[in-house]
Chain A
Amino acid sequence: MMTSEPETPVVQPENFKAAHARKQALASQLRKTLALADRVHVMADGSRWFVRFRSVEILEHWLVLISFTILSLTGLMQRFASLNIFAWAINAVFRDIEAVSAVHQATAICFVALCLFHFVRILTVWFVMREPGAMLPRRGDGSDLLKMIQYNLGSIKVRPLFDRFTIEEKLGYWALLIFAPIMVLTGLIQWFPTFVTRLFPVAVIPLARSIHSMSAFLAIAVVLTWHLYHTVFKERNSSIFTGLMSEQAMRENHPLEHQRIIAAHEKIQTMRKGQ
């Protein structure tokens, strides 16, 4: 839908700056519209697929998936080393619990590096690119969660409409974001006990150990229940691996984003027809 923009035959010098800014804004908006419109792919049979994740996001997910799995397994092995299955695994695969520890620490380094990379990237997405519907918490999140619960309980009939991320996805993401520094901190305390005890009482070491293992327990539980429920059990959502989402799923889960993409798409289409 084109806004009715009046023709400006004569450019007033005092209005030049404003006109330039307006043009810039228009161009920027057009670029964004084009980018949005690019996110819809029309197949030969007329069905439409939406690009949900970029390659860098898919890669990040893969790396988190791998490192998290390794950290979980090696962590559990160390924590419950006396269990027969873990004791067997340690002795058969790693030969020594020291080796398990070494693998855990090496993976942790990769994990921290990944976290830092993601942190830098997400800041640009949020504050430089200013992508709409980002993971940043916003005012409506609380009421969204409440409405979702009310809807599930049956007290309201209409589901709240979500943008790029549902409230469940936001919760999962922020849980990970808070969990990661706790794990890194408590992990480092255990890694360098002699240094830590120069600054803090010795009790922080066993404390860090129990917090580390309890947090890990929570994280693993969240991934296995919350995350898997919302992405695998609820509906087969493979967009984090393929990057694509069907129109029906898009409309159902991300109606606001869907609407925005379709709008951009149609705008570009009409612009092309007008030419």
Chain B
Amino acid sequence: MPEIKFFTKNKLLIIFLAVLLLLGLELRAETVRAGHMAGSGSRLGDIGRLMIIPANAAVHSSPASLSNSNCIMCHQYDKFKGVTRDSQQVSLTVDEQGFNQSVHGQAGVFCVGCHTTFTTYPHSDVEQVTCEQCHEQNITVVANLPYDNPRAMVAHFNETCRSCHPNEYSANSIHSSVAANGQINTPLCTDCHGGHEVQPPADPPERITLTCSRCHTAVYEDFQSNQHNSADPLTQTCADCHIPHEIQAAPAEPAATPQPTPAEESGDQSYLNQWNSTCTMCHAYPNLIGKAEDSSTVSLTVTEQELSESVHGKAGLGCAACHPSTTGYPHHDTEQIACSTCHGSANPEAEIVANLPYESTRALSIQLNEACRTCHEDQYKASADSMHTKAFEDGNQQAPLCVDCHGSHSVQSTEGSRASISQSCAKCHTAAYTSYQSSVHGAAIEKDGNPDAPTCADCHGVHTVSGPSQANFRNESVATCTRCHQDQEMMSKYGVSTGLFDPNTDNFHGVALSLYDQRSSDQMGDTPVCYDCHGVHTIRESADPLSTVNSANLLGTCQKCHPNASSRFASTGLSHSSSTGAALAFQDWIERIYAIIIFAILALLVVYILLDARKRWTEKKRLTQPAATGK
């Protein structure tokens, strides 16, 4: 039946080929989309060429009269202008060579590929230009254009970009949304990519930044002055943070935001040096302030200089070393700040406040404090028994954390600046520090930077910091003092006797003190230790009239424990074994005589016992012998 033979062999073949063609087109479109997303300029060019020729074959293969040479005939004329309805002139000259070298020219796209409505001459609704205008008069040729203004013309052609690059257009980008609001000067495709001379966008990479800089002049200057751009290869171009075509007010999740790459093999901590320039892009802002839930504020400003001059900076550590969880922007737990908040303000130092999702700024510090532990576990452990940690565990949030003493971004080594140790303690312990400054120890270190003189940490410990309310501090305090005060070499420099205190010598306080060394309990001894008489932070030379052990003040010092003490009680050094003078000589003589008497008595008694024992032994022998012989 003729009806049944409707699908002949040839017809089936044509339909099959047509279906194949459609499928192929779709697949290629997919490929190109993926390639374009990858963002490599040179690759884009290759793929673009592949795509455009077959997909828009109809556009540039026919009619032959619409080939590029036809257009160039007129549009190569260098005095060819168009005038829009608002009387603005637009150059209509096209550089043929430039076009041929462009991505489109290389790909074989014809003029009508983009200017789809200009397939005939004279162009529809455009006034015709006569031959003579160009060829004979060599005058400026002005064609009336059917556009309100030059931007409207650009916007018109901009639409044609989308016919081939549908996925590169994002209505959500800040450029698109501003354009939608009627701002005619916002960038269109051609404003960034160029018109006829369109080039691969990221080849070379600087092209991106230069493109942006045409409008964002101030940002570009900032970028050039190393505020943004530095040696960090991850943030070399604008597009590294501001994803092309999807540009948000602020980078949503910048492509270039580094992720920490925690070491798979332990010991590899190379990731620790990451992020500095990315972070300081925002954090270098001089007035960036974090505000916690309780309205307490903290400066979030960190300059790269500050960091690079710190111990961490010198060791090559970056932001990621201490802030490993702060990946990406907006930070996982903080409110997003729009770029324009900083960049849009007229006042370059306007206060910018970011709400922090913490109860207080202190809570933030407490959480960040844990980061110190990553590298400084020993110190962290040592501080676990300290007064500071105890105070913290007892609920005092103000008890010092690592950063309170060491500083955070500007952390410095204490080497070469011993005075700074005590000064950091002074931030809280003001009264103690004032006393210390006037003491013989404090004065030596403050004035001369004497390396022998103790800082706060030399007596109280560094991370294990303890004080007199703790038994172990009191019990070990004598050892603390004698560490230096029995060092003959050190003491000889200052003419201080090392024999002044020997816990094993014959004095009242010393005997009890000597036991402290061997006591490991947390029991608080009530026997006087060095500082009970000499003062704690106010220790002075005994010759100093302000010293508690100066002869003028000694009685009062004794009376602290011995309320009935007389001036005679305090007159000689009962506390130290080294009493001198006639009293000592007299005492010595009596002791010697007494000792001689005692040993003489003992010797006589022993001699008597030995004689008695010998006699008894011989008697016994004499008595038993006759019995033995008699038997």
Contact = CB atoms under 8 A, between A and B. Distances in A.
Q: Do A and B bind each other?
A: yes
Interface of A: 78, 81-82, 84, 87-88, 90-91, 95-98, 149, 151-154, 193-195, 197-198, 201-203, 205-207, 209-211, 214-215, 217-218, 221-222, 225-226, 229, 234
B602 A218 contact: yes
B566 A82 contact: no
Given A149-B611, A222-B605, A234 B511 contact: no
B85 interface: no
B307 to A, nearest CB: 51
Contact of B564 (A195, A203, A211, A222): A195
A204 to B, nearest CB: 9
A202 B572 contact: yes
Given A81-B514, A229-B613, 8 more contacts: A78-B511, A153-B611, A202-B571, A203-B579, A206-B579, A207-B590, A221-B602, A225-B605
Contacts of B519: 91
B514 A214 contact: no
B583 A203 contact: yes
Contacts of A205: 574
A98 B590 contact: no
Contacts of A90: 515
Contacts of B598: 214-215, 217-218
Contact of B574 (A206, A210, A222): A206
Contacts of B126: none
Interface string B324-335: 000000000000
Contacts of B511: 78, 81-82, 97
Chain A interface mostly: helix
A149 B564 CA distance: 54
Nearest to B616: A234
Contact of A203 (B507, B587, B608, B613): B587
B612 A152 contact: yes
Contacts of B526: 98
A27 B305 CA distance: 118
Interface string B559-581: 00011111011011010000100
B583 A202 contact: yes
Contacts of B574: 193, 202, 205-206
Contact of B523 (A96, A194, A210, A226): A96
Nearest to B582: A203
B615 A154 contact: yes
B579 A97 contact: no
B203 interface: no
A170 B602 CA distance: 16
A97 B611 contact: no
A151 B571 CA distance: 57
Contact of B566 (A96, A98, A154, A194): A194
A78 B599 CA distance: 22
Interface in B501-559: 503-504, 506-508, 511-512, 514-515, 518-519, 521, 523, 525-527
A226 B568 contact: no
A102 to B, nearest CB: 12
B595 to A, nearest CB: 6
